Amino acid sequence: MEWELRRSLVRFGRMLYRLGFMPGTSGNLSVRLDEERILATPTGRSKFLLRSEDMVIVDLDGRQLAGTRKVTSEIGMHLAIYRLRPDADAVIHSHPPIATGFACSGRPLDEPLCSEAIMTLGVVPLAPYATTGTHGLVESLEPLIPHHSAILLANHGAVTCGNDLLDAFLKMETVEHFAHICLVAHQLGSVRLLEGHAIDQLHEARARYLAGAHQGGRMVRQMVAG
């Protein structure tokens, strides 16, 4: 199980690198190993060059338990999400260019423009700026984490969580796709927002979607535990 998760971190890290979401050595990924331990990517390592043996294991207080490399300096953000979102088993932090452009412009992705984005993400809020790798960054996120699975970080990037790495990856991909749609719509100059009953219907559909996703996640965890 652990080595399968290590390989998944390598695979999704390379996918995010190729998408341009994790250039250089930026970005980080993690997964829950169990109720007490987190498996995470190390600091200072290109996600294109990442290997399974590079991963590190930390406890829920951030103490490193295993691994020859040093854990990412942004592990506090991951731990806050695992603490406040018991349903989350994976976290991805990256810098998708267009979404990060919105974050650097002080603009959340909160306009009801695209039905698919409302269904899968709801609103993508903007956390206030705080220095990367500090407790201030954790504090800026804490009020938003319980209510959102995708959050923009002001002048920084984005973070998503999910019931597995694929779920967190798809949310990150959707954040960037939605940001691109918002950018093009505003460039065209004729933005038409969804209103009233249409939004209510999408919120109802989203509630059903999330209920199904959570049930599926519980079933997978029970199968793994069994």
Domain ranges of the chain: 2-225
The rounded distance, in Å, linking the Cα atoms of 109 and 105 is 11
The rounded distance, in Å, linking the Cα atoms of 150 and 119 is 13
Which whole number is the average pLDDT over 2-26?
97
74 in active site: yes
Q: Is 165 helix (H, G, I), strand (E, B) or coil?
A: helix
Catalytic position from the list 35, 74, 173, 204: 74
The CATH architecture of the domain made up of 2-225 is 3-Layer(aba) Sandwich (3.40)
Q: What is the pTM of this model?
A: 0.89
The rounded distance, in Å, linking the Cα atoms of 70 and 64 is 8
Q: Select from 178, 179, 172 the least CA-distant residue to 19.
A: 172
pLDDT of 43-94, one tens digit each?
999 999 999 999 999 999 999 999 999 999 999 999 999 999 999 999 999 9
pLDDT of 97-133, one tens digit each?
999 999 999 999 999 888 888 888 889 999 999 999 9
* Residue 223: pLDDT over 50: no
